[in-house]
Chain A
Amino acid sequence: MRATSRSEYIVTRLIKAAGYSAILFIGLIFLFLLREGTPALFEIPLGDLVGDRWYPIEDLFGMLPLIGGSLLVTIGAALVAVPLGLLTAIYIAEVAPRSARELLKPAVEILAGLPSVMLGFLGIVALAPYLRRLLDLPTGLSALTGSLLLGGIAIPSVVSVAEDALDAVPRTYREAARALGATRWQIIWRVTLPAARSGVLTAIMLGVGRVIGETMTVMMVTGNAPVLPTGLGSLFRPTRTMTATIAAEMGEVANGSVHYHALFLIGILLFLISLGVNLLAARFVFRQRTRAERVLS
């Protein structure tokens, strides 16, 4: 009996340590990003950092084109993922017969598992040439190509969270509306969707968060031209995101150089942006029940 309590004590301590390790990891990550990135704030005048030319060879580290590129591609992807994702989620949750559901949900899950480099590859060999012919572009590598693919990547996040949110709306709401003579269509838009509003918003934000952080796909298909996007036409021209910049240039950079620090600085910026988006999304998702409820339920 004594031995059991000693081993139990050790196990419990280990479990607690594992729990707190998350804080350790996030701290380490932030620490190391800061360590390698903040020197850039001293080596590069602040005015330059918000300049509109990113050309490291000539010591130009204006981050605006990269931020603009990320923004452009993210908005484009959201325009693809949000409508398609939401409508698909509504279909799966509210309209599809059970047998179709059993096929659709795994299909969407497959999409979630597809590696981004593979979609980037298909972007290069299939989608880009197609868009080039269709829209008469010089190459098919543009912000649009990136947006389309990223939209596809974000769809599973949107679909699964939105579908859960719609599923969670109590049956009684729908039945009450039904009793009042509403059609299923009306119920979806006037009862179910508003009731699931916060979950749906979470789904959208998670999708956006997913898109902002994407690296390989954008690096492979957006053309890698750090040019500040201006106007709608830039959708059809090459661009560069923050993530692609890091991935593309890190390999050729000398440790400790200004360029190196600048890339880490971009990393810090990405860290903070995704922090913001995910914290916002988590506000809605957080449903903590008190332990009393849990034990006695």
Chain B
Amino acid sequence: MATESQRRHLIQRAGFAGLLLATFATVAPILLVVGLILWRAAPALSFEFLTASPREGMRAGGILPAIVGTFWLTLGTAAVAVPFGVGAAIYLAEYAPDSRWTRAIRIAIINLAGIPSVVYGLFGLGLFVLFLGFGTSILAGSLTLAIMTVPVIISTTEEALRAVPQSFRAVSISLGGTQWQTVRRIVLPQALPGILTGVILGLERAAGETAPILFTAAAFFLPRLPNSPFDATMALPYHLFVISTQVPGMPIDVQYGTAAVLLVFVLGMNLVATVIRSRARARRQW
């Protein structure tokens, strides 16, 4: 005859098993996805695939222009998103007073963070491609991706800045430091790993996005490498989209291969960010 306590512990064990099951259901597909892509892509991944331009309407040759295109788009995004994002975060964390305007800024950031990526694409089309006349270009694509990435960078950077103990700031000010001296000499260096991590994760997202570049930067068959910011370009995510939905007779391992390159690009950034974060944690002096 089970006692009340025994019954409760039985329920607990069953419950914990259920939680474990749910977690497994969440995590196992992740491993499946990564494994499947890498495994099925193996036949296609050759040196030529990564370094040559495409031939025969994409069905042969390599995807170098797409890799290069994604690289440039990511760089362009960083060039714009980092100054705006980190700057805004510094303002919010170190300077902004508790006022209506500050609240307005925060609301604006929340909204920016929530806008669907395809709506960013529309905006980029309307403003950069058409109104400002940049045309379908790396420039238009990068600017669009950058504005999309700014809210992500702001929130991670602000968190990194706020994690730096307030006491450091008080000490610096009491020694005759100005606000900016304090930020520049103490807060920023201490927050730097966190900021870097956030920036890399933000760029990782930008690199994988398709919708914002659909109408602002991407072209399908451009075997030539881009040589100016006003050129349109191939890009990995867009390339994967087209070859898996719009090119009949596309060899499946080429599709998997493209997916794998994108996956490695994205996971590589993830790894770098994680390494930065854990190394910084170990070397922290507070």
Contact = CB atoms under 8 A, between A and B. Distances in A.
B is a partner of A: yes
Contacts, number: 266
A246 B122 contact: yes
B286 interface: no
B184 to A, nearest CB: 8
A145 interface: no
Interface string B98-116: 1001001111111111111
- Chain B, interface size: which category? 35 or more
B252 A113 contact: no
A183 B12 CA distance: 7
Contacts of B204: 113
Contact of B27 (A21, A107, A185): A107
Main secondary structure of the interface of A (DSSP, over half): helix
Contacts of B178: 5, 8
Given A250-B214, A267-B119, A122 B88 contact: no
B24 to A, nearest CB: 9
B28 to A, nearest CB: 10
A48 interface: no
B34 interface: yes
A287 B113 CA distance: 18
A87 B21 CA distance: 9
A291 B23 contact: no
Contact of A32 (B9, B36, B105, B123): B123
Contacts of B114: 209, 213, 274-275, 277-278
Contacts of A143: none
A105 B147 CA distance: 28
Interface in A112-163: 113-122, 124-126, 152, 155, 159
A125 B20 CA distance: 29
A102 B119 CA distance: 36
Contact of A243 (B107, B118, B166, B266): B118
A90 interface: yes
A275 B252 CA distance: 40
A270 B104 CA distance: 21
A233 interface: no
B98 A291 contact: yes
A275 B108 CA distance: 10
Contact of B266 (A29, A113, A126, A288): A113
Given A15-B95, A121-B244, A220-B245, A116 B210 contact: yes
B230 interface: no
Contacts of A177: none
Contact of B26 (A11, A125, A155, A271): A155
Most buried by B among A11, A26, A264, A279: A26
A88 to B, nearest CB: 4
Interface of A: 5, 8, 11-12, 14-23, 25-26, 28-29, 32-33, 35-36, 83-85, 87-88, 90-92, 95-96, 104, 106-111, 113-122, 124-126, 152, 155, 159, 183-186, 209, 212-216, 220, 243, 246-247, 250-251, 255, 263-264, 267, 270-271, 274-275, 277-279, 282, 286, 288, 290-291, 294-295, 297
24 contacts: A18-B83, A21-B84, A22-B108, A22-B109, A23-B108, A28-B127, A87-B23, A88-B23, A90-B19, A115-B207, A116-B208, A116-B210, A122-B36, A184-B12, A185-B12, A185-B15, A209-B114, A246-B122, A270-B116, A270-B119, A274-B116, A278-B111, A282-B110, A291-B98
Given A22-B112, A113-B267, 16 more contacts: A8-B178, A16-B91, A21-B84, A28-B123, A88-B23, A95-B16, A115-B209, A115-B210, A120-B244, A125-B252, A183-B9, A185-B11, A243-B118, A251-B215, A274-B115, A294-B166
